[in-house]
Chain A
Amino acid sequence: MSGRPLAPRAGALWAGLVLVVLALPVIAVVALTGADTQGLWAHLANTVLSVYVTNTLLLGGGVLVLTLITGIGTAWLVTMYEFPFRRTLEFALVLPLAMPAYILAYAYTDFFQVTGPVQTLLRDLTGLNVRDYWFPNIRSLEGAVFVLSGALFPYVYLITRAAFLEQSMSAVEVSRTLGLTRAQALLRVAVPMARPAIVAGGTLVTMETLADFGAVKYFDLQTFTTGIYRAWFSYGNPAAAAQLASILLAAVFAVVLIEQSSRGARRYAAVSAQYRDIRPWQLKGWRARLASVACATPVGVGFAVPAIILISMAIDAQHDVDLARVAALTLNTGTLAAIAATVVVALAAGVSFAAGRSQANLLRQMSRVSALGYATPGVVVGVGLLIVAGIADSFIRDIAEGAFHILVGLVLSGSVAVLVYAYAVRFFAVAHGPLDAAFVRIGARYGEAARTLGVSSSTAIIRIDIPLMRGTMLAVAALVFADVMKELPATMILRPFNFDTLATEAFQLATTERLDQAALPSLAIAVAGLIPVFLLCLGLRRARPGSHGEISVRTL
């Protein structure tokens, strides 16, 4: 039943405006695509464009293959077998989500460089000199594949594990009675049945890979994200940046479409009336040890080893580090993240309330579209907002100087407000998805009961819905908080002059060969990154067939 709309017309208009404003940066980028690039586009097309395409494809393909193997393999092991430390590893496999890829890049650069512990040990053991041997260079395409895979495989792991848990194990067991080995059952029954979930995990990984800026920039790889940055800041050519950004956006949205169609299919695939508890198969001897090692290795690569490297670097560099500055930066970043989280949660909840609970509502359709902001790479959001802020500033200046003869300069560009705006664009979906789901799940009946008791619809929201949604609100606020703490590209592009966050500080220190000093801010970011991982583990513990945790992988 549709019922009466919850919010008055004014509320709906306001919410619609919010959604349009959130979409502006992307609209700006697309709108500028046709603009004149003064020949730069032709130049780029002739020179680096093919490099961008090749590098992006190789990077995306490599990361996809590596994360699928790692993610599916570990998910299968922890759900189907019993081996030493299985329960610990089951949760530890999520930990790499706490470390952004760019931080892994700093840590492994130090680890594998000529003066780093690995090569030093190698020379000590073999007695070779630096020029006597070949050692792979981490700052390469292969290195980026390694680093990004280490950071991103948990997406595949989480979604696939959930799919394996939801599957009726009867199918796997029947296939065993029909003569399949466990490995064959994995490849011929379990994986095909989990295919929609695996596709979803793979597309998430690909989206993140396409959007990555920090790691590839640090490794000096020429991809679309670094190319956009360079077109704007080195060539000073917004039109060319917008054109590159549009190509990247098209690629990302193609991936999103694949993901959404796979989600549609998953609804049918996951239906299973005969759920049975999985009884893990007890592994013994070397097989058990192998399983433990196989699951521990990705945890080591994606979390433990870089954490140890960063900690030891931080200790070594303790006399070079300006602790007061790191403390001030942490406070700075934390405040910014808290403001952004508050703004984003308020906007998301407001839009949800205004849309009401009807699925056919135009606002709800619009808010689904604006969820694409989360898929938009930070570089694109940054560039799009530069364009929007520039237009808004010249508009404000024209009015102020023309009508009132006041010199106002740039009001928006380079302000903290624009930074918060960027975070709202990027992370609106992180808050809106779970909040809207919670709001719809509460249902209309409490609000209707309240209204028959003489309470207006807005009062009903304050007295009923918000208290009932408090847990979800806190959780999504924490998610947005952590996301802002980690955010690098949009912050780099939009931050006010002389304004730094932990992420930009660590990046600048790392790119100026002061890796040891970058360790402490990086560790602070990783600690913030543990917040969503912790929330996810709570959800994971609750995740049983038919009852999904409130925080999904999608929102991480």
Chain B
Amino acid sequence: MSALEFDAVTHAYGPRVAMKSFTLAVEDGEILGLLGPSGSGKTTALRVAAGLESPQKGKVYVGGKLVSEPGVDIPPEQRDVGLLFQDLALFPHLTVASNVAFGLHGARSAQRRMRTNELLELVGLSDYAQSYPHQLSGGQQQRVALARALAPKPKVLLLDEPFSNLDVVLRQQVRREMLNLLKTIGTSALFVTHDPEEALFMADRVAVMRDGTIMQTATPEAIYLKPANRFVASFFGETNVIPAAIRAGCAETPFGAIPVNGLLDDTAADVLVRAQGLLVSKNSNGAHATVRSARILGATVLLELQPAPPTGLKSNLIARVAMGTQLQSGDTVTITLDPRFAFAFARD
């Protein structure tokens, strides 16, 4: 049984279609990352799941129970979902403990207190029970919001760009903490992000969304190494586009051939190569390209390469190579492709 399921959901704000036959399922205990550029409709999907928007078409199930279809619209308070807002939306007039206890109605006060303490302990904020949200740091506020969302034991936790308000250093740390917490509790979660690295880090499976529809859903490894289309391939970092000829099940480029699946011979095609898929070696004879710049980015060096005329390529290429490669501006190089990071697609 899925914790959350969208079945061909369509939702528009007036003329603007935000979700188009959107189908996706979050399995029990799974953390699913919904990744897409801004305006792709991913936040709308979250709001539809929470019941904050009523879609025009399709069905939504939470914990196997139908919560939304045309004519049926279970209100958010009866859906058993937890929602973590981008800006947290901690109630400023309530203490940390009251914030966490907010969703625990119906229970007896002794039980509420127990559950509240349990969660505060879980997120390591027992000492701050009587503080107010504004007295806490950004990371602590994040944990209060998480505890508040988890307190009523939701069937699925929805997270809207949960780390975008934190600075880079804090983000890494909070991200790790939260992943550990979610895995400890074993909760099912759908989280929305526009940051590919975040999606790869956090998610058991990643769904890439564009213009209201899912382009591909797969494990982080599969989505990075076997992208279904150009958009997915280019969404995870910079790629080089190299025109290729398809012959005998291979895509031939000036830098060598890679095996392809599902493309007929003589199809107009491109090979998309990730920056680390261009293997560069210094060579003064029969060179493919000239190094235009070499910039150190920490663990890797970013090379800008100008292709030599025989390759027929017009625009410069980007390559990432390991530190220690002794390449300088002006060096001539030969290039080969790493087939793990090179993907052939038919030209649109």
Contacts and interface: CB of A to CB of B under 8 A. Distances in A.
Nearest to B151: A453
B201 interface: no
Interface in A422-460: 445-446, 448-457
Closest 5 CB pairs of A and B: A453-B103, A451-B76, A452-B83, A445-B89, A449-B89
A454 B77 contact: yes
A4 B48 CA distance: 10
Given A454-B103, A455-B77, A456-B77, A445 B93 contact: no
Interface in B67-108: 75-83, 85, 87, 89, 91-93, 102-103, 105
A438 to B, nearest CB: 13
B206 interface: no
A308 interface: no
Contacts of B77: 451-456
Contacts of A1: 13, 44, 47, 53
- How many chain B residues sit at the interface, stated as a range, is 20 to 34
Nearest to A470: B93
A338 B25 CA distance: 56
Given A1-B13, A4-B52, A453-B102, A448 B92 contact: no
A467 B105 CA distance: 18
Contact of B91 (A3, A454, A456, A464): A464
Given A452-B83, A454-B78, 13 more contacts: A2-B13, A3-B53, A448-B52, A448-B76, A448-B85, A448-B89, A449-B83, A449-B85, A449-B91, A452-B51, A452-B103, A455-B77, A457-B75
A451 B89 CA distance: 12
Interface of A: 1-4, 445-446, 448-457, 463-464, 467-468
A288 to B, nearest CB: 44
B144 to A, nearest CB: 12
B149 interface: yes
A457 B76 CA distance: 9
Contacts, number: 77
Contact of A468 (B87, B92, B105, B154): B92
B222 to A, nearest CB: 32
A449 B148 CA distance: 10
Contacts of B91: 446, 449-450, 464
A452 B87 contact: no
Contacts of A463: 102
Contacts of A2: 13, 53
B50 A453 contact: no
Nearest to A5: B54
28 contacts: A1-B13, A1-B44, A1-B53, A3-B52, A4-B52, A4-B53, A445-B85, A445-B89, A448-B50, A448-B76, A448-B85, A450-B102, A451-B76, A452-B52, A452-B76, A452-B77, A452-B82, A452-B158, A453-B82, A453-B148, A453-B149, A453-B152, A454-B80, A455-B102, A455-B103, A455-B105, A467-B93, A468-B93
B347 to A, nearest CB: 37
Of A453, A455, A457, most B-chain CB atoms within 10 Å:
A453
A379 B83 CA distance: 53
Contacts of A456: 75, 77
Contacts of B79: 452
Given A1-B53, A3-B53, A454 B89 contact: no
A468 to B, nearest CB: 6
A454 B105 contact: yes
Contacts of A449: 83, 85, 89, 91, 148
A463 B51 CA distance: 20
Contacts of A453: 77, 82, 102-103, 148-149, 151-152
A446 B89 CA distance: 5
Contacts of A451: 50-52, 75-77
Given A1-B47, A456-B77, A468-B92, A448 B83 contact: yes
A452 B52 CA distance: 9
Nearest to A468: B93
Nearest to A2: B13
Nearest to B103: A453
Given A4-B51, A4-B54, A454 B152 contact: yes
Nearest to B76: A451
B41 to A, nearest CB: 12
Contacts of A4: 51-54, 75
A450 B94 CA distance: 13
Interface in B121-159: 148-149, 151-152, 154, 158
Interface in B15-73: 44, 47, 50-54
Nearest to A447: B89
Nearest to A456: B77
Contacts of A454: 77-78, 80, 103, 105, 152
A1 B16 CA distance: 11
A392 B52 CA distance: 43
B202 to A, nearest CB: 20
A136 to B, nearest CB: 58
Contacts of B53: 1-4
A451 B82 CA distance: 10
Nearest to A451: B76
A2 B47 CA distance: 11
Contacts of A448: 50, 52, 76, 83, 85, 89
Contacts of A446: 89, 91
B149 A452 contact: yes
A451 B92 CA distance: 16
Of A1, A449, A457, A468, most B-chain CB atoms within 10 Å:
A449
A372 B149 CA distance: 44
A155 B215 CA distance: 60
B183 to A, nearest CB: 22
Interface string B287-305: 0000000000000000000
Contacts of A468: 92-93
A2 B80 CA distance: 22
Contacts of B92: 468
B300 to A, nearest CB: 40
